[in-house]
């Protein structure tokens, strides 16, 4: 949509036109301020942890367990070189199967949420599904 708008402006005689393709979601994901009626309403982006331990598909669960020692009940996102979330390791899976790799033990394609989801909405989801975590990703999946 933004590229079409940029081309449209050019067709109207504008010669210095740029499009911020990652868009509003990228801005919000970075925790930058916004204006508008929803500004200041707490959302996932404002409370999400950014220091989450991640692992690669080929990592052994025993090594991941050691890295997760300070937060053993937290799940561990499985990411690729571009930090795209490929899967999720639940804490019980990390504890149970030391010799396996993350890829063998992960849940593929976990449900993820965008940073602009209202806390109220995510609270309902977590309660309904009886889970204690939600994975928050950008529009690129990282």
Q: Which residues bind another protein (CB under 8 A)?
A: 1-10, 12-28, 30, 32-39, 116, 139-140
Measured distance CA(59)–CA(89) in Å, rounded: 11
Q: Please say which residue, 34 or 107, places its beta carbon nearer to another protein.
A: 34
CB of 35 to another protein, least distance (A): 5
CB of 50 to another protein, least distance (A): 16
Q: Please say which residue, 8 or 95, places its beta carbon nearer to another protein.
A: 8
Residue among 76, 104, 111 nearest 91 (CA)? 76
Q: Please say which residue, 71 or 112, places its beta carbon nearer to another protein.
A: 112
Measured distance CA(79)–CA(142) in Å, rounded: 8
The alpha carbon of 121 is separated from its chain's Cα centroid by a whole number of angstroms, namely 16
Measured distance CA(117)–CA(136) in Å, rounded: 9
Q: Please say which residue, 41 or 111, places its beta carbon nearer to another protein.
A: 41
CB of 4 to another protein, least distance (A): 7
* Cβ neighbours of residue 98 closer than 8 Å, sequence gap 6 or more: 60, 61, 62, 65
CB of 119 to another protein, least distance (A): 15
């Amino acid at each position: 949509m933004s590229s079409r708008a940029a081309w449209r402006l050019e067709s109207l005689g504008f010669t210095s036109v740029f499009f911020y393709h990652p868009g509003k979601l990228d801005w919000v994901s970075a925790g930058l301020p916004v204006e508008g009626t929803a500004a200041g309403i707490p959302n996932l982006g404002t409370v999400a942890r950014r220091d989450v331990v991640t692992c690669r598909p080929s990592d052994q669960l025993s090594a991941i367990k050691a890295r997760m020692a300070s937060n053993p009940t937290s799940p561990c996102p499985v990411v690729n070189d571009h930090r795209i979330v490929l899967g999720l390791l639940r804490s019980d899976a990390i504890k149970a199967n030391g010799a396996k790799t993350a890829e063998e033990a992960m849940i593929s394609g976990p449900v993820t949420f965008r940073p602009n989801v209202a806390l109220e909405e995510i609270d309902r989801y977590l309660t309904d599904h009886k889970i204690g975590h939600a994975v928050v990703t950008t529009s690129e999946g990282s």
